[in-house]
Amino acid sequence: MGVRSYEEPEGLPEIPRRPPLRPLLGTAAGVFVLVLAALLANGRPIGAGDTRANERVAASLVQEGNFDLDEAPEVEPPFAVPVGAHRVSIYPVLSSVMAVPVFAAARSLFALDETGSALAGKLAAALFSALAAAVLFLAVCARGQREGAFWVAVVFAIGTSVCSSSQALWQHPAAVLFLCLALLCLARAEDDAAWAGRAGLPLALAVAARHADVALAAVLVLGIGLRWPRRLPWLLLWALPAVAFVLAYDWAYFGSPLRHGFSDSLARFSAPLGVGHLGLLVSPAKGLLVFTPLVLVALAGLVPALRRGERWWVLTLGGAAAAHWLLMGQWGEWHGGESWGPRLLTDALPLLFLFLPEGLERLPRLGLALAAWSIGVQVLGAFAYDYGWERQHQRAGESPPLWDLQDNPILFHLERRVLILAAPAVKDGKAYVRESPLVLFGPSGSRLSFARDRLEGTGSVPTFGDAHLQRGARIENGRLVLQGRWAAVFLRLRDEARPRRLQLRIAARGQGVLYVGERSFWTPGTRWTTYPLGGRALIRHPYYFPESGGGDLLVTTGLGGGQAEIEWITLVPPGEPVDALHVDETGAR
């Protein structure tokens, strides 16, 4: 039985000749440097439970020489599970393995504690994504679309969820890198069919880095088999190293080559039919067309590619992206948890952005406008996102407002008007992150209250300004609620109040510990004072700027072991009387 490989029909416009790639390597290096600088510009990691697990696995490989998380109790269930005598991550470990050189270099500069690991993880992820952008540039050029390929690659990296998923060591940056390498192999296969077989290695590595890419990879393998059937054995052979790595790891740490951290997760594909699929596209809180509308122009590029005779490219890559969307839309947490934008569709983006040059040729003005929006949304996330919307809204109740036009992360951060300026630093062998929030039109005064379910600054002689809530702190029933990791209220001492001795008073009730932090962007670390809570209390924290840890004040529950409800906060001279009504309300004497 003979098998006929795919042939282009006659009479169609000639596909532009593909240029040699060697002269383009310098430009690809420019893409890499520009994208890397952009991804690191916000100066801080933005992680989650998923990324903490990946980062601590990389640290364990560097420090302990193994994959277990026995020495990392901060990686809590469900992100780590006990298997035999050890605790292991539920996630694939290839991203952590790839990050080992970065973590090893970082270890020579600072300790790989939680902050140090987070910074090393962000750097590794940014490196992977910058490499992915450079490879995508080469792949676009290899298809004969050299003009504009530079900016296509740059916008791909900083105008999509590739940017937001590069802020910590998610699995996406490594998977996207391998998918871009697979696209480059397929583009090279147009001139040398041997590259079709070699695509098996990056495709298998993409699935090894993120098992959820299996549907996407399966469609690509099917397409390769139909187009280059004689290369299918080579495709499978090239895939063997990645497959062997995954099977060996699963056998060693889960007791079976066919068992992994998500072996019992089929029941979690539980989203109502169509809800997740529609949400991934148009949800105001997580939709691709909301956060990255430029993808519409990339989709429009499929049409001229089809007319030019590239039916295999359009059907194979479009089909693979659709398969990924169908699979992710069925996942119970299709919204991606605590993340900025449609994180779960990130891995399909290289397949679509390969056609962005054709789309920009057809819709140049619309493309420019949508590119500006897409980049602006990612810049907002990089400099403003702090999990606040998810913790205040997405986690609240059984039906989070994922479809509310007036209640979504973009509007939340625009209305809050807070940009987080940050930079990493090292002191005494430990890394930390300097932060200086830039607050536009924040409340000021000497008294901060919450009676009208919003921050209100009052007082005839203001002592603080730039008041705002951080990381999930919320106002309920006229009280400020602090619950969860680093939920906080921020105050900045006004310049005219610096010579005065003051007292920070906090009328609170709750359980656990309330922390008052003093810091500045230029002062290493934060000076913390702890105040145990066991009911109602009126906390009196002495503050004098010349002897303080800085002019930025935080009131927080820290790592989230407690909960506090705050009725009001004042920053006043120690001798100023406390209103009797407030004393009675707090139970202080």
- With beta carbons less than 8 A apart as the criterion, state whether 336 and 286 touch: yes
Chain-centroid distance, C-alpha 527: 29
| H or E element, residue 141 | helix 114-142
What is the per-residue pLDDT for 18?
A: 59
For 524-576, what is each residue's pLDDT tens digit? 889 999 999 999 999 999 999 999 999 999 999 998 778 999 999 999 999 99
Name residues whose C-beta falls within 8 Å of residue 264's C-beta, 6 or more positions apart in sequence.
none
**Percentage of the chain surpassing pLDDT 70?**
94
**Sign of the torsion angle spanned by Cα atoms 476, 478, 482, 486:** positive
Find residue 438's DSSP bridge partners: 419
> Radius of gyration over alpha carbons of the chain, in Å?
26
Q: How far is CA 101 from CA 7, 33, 46, 65, 91, in A?
A: 44, 19, 21, 13, 20
pLDDT tens digit sequence for 255-272: 999 898 887 778 888 888
Structure tokens at 94: 């290839």
Tell me the pLDDT of the chain averaged across its residues: 92
Give the tokens for residue 538.
């009126």
pLDDT score, position 440: 92
Q: Which two tokens stand for residue 110?
A: 């600072």
Is 70 exceeded by the pLDDT of residue 17? no
State yes or no: pLDDT of 401 exceeds 80: no
Per-residue pLDDT at 163 exceeds 80: yes
d(CA 443, CA 430) in angstroms, rounded, equals: 34
User: Omega into 542 within 30° of 0, i.e. cis?
Assistant: no
pTM of the predicted structure, to 2 decimals? 0.92
Q: Could you give the domains of the chain?
A: 22-384 (no CATH), 442-586 (2.60.120.430)
C-alpha span between 551 and 107 (Å, rounded)? 32
The 8-class DSSP code of residue 201 comes to H
pLDDT at 5 over 50: no
Q: What is residue 476's three-state secondary structure?
A: strand
End-to-end distance of the chain based on CA atoms, in angstroms? Answer: 94
DSSP code per residue over 198-221: HTHHHHHHHHHH-GGGHHHHHHHH
- What one-letter code names the amino acid at 143? R
pLDDT range class, residue 472, cuts 50, 70, 90: confident
pLDDT of residue 19: 60
Tens digit of each residue's pLDDT (9 = 90 or more) over 30-82 = 999 999 999 999 999 999 999 999 999 999 999 999 999 999 998 989 999 99
Burial (CB count within 10 angstroms: exposed 0-12, middle 13-18, buried 19+), residue 588: middle
Answer whether residue 235 shows pLDDT above 60.
Answer: yes
Task: Name residue 436's amino acid.
Answer: S
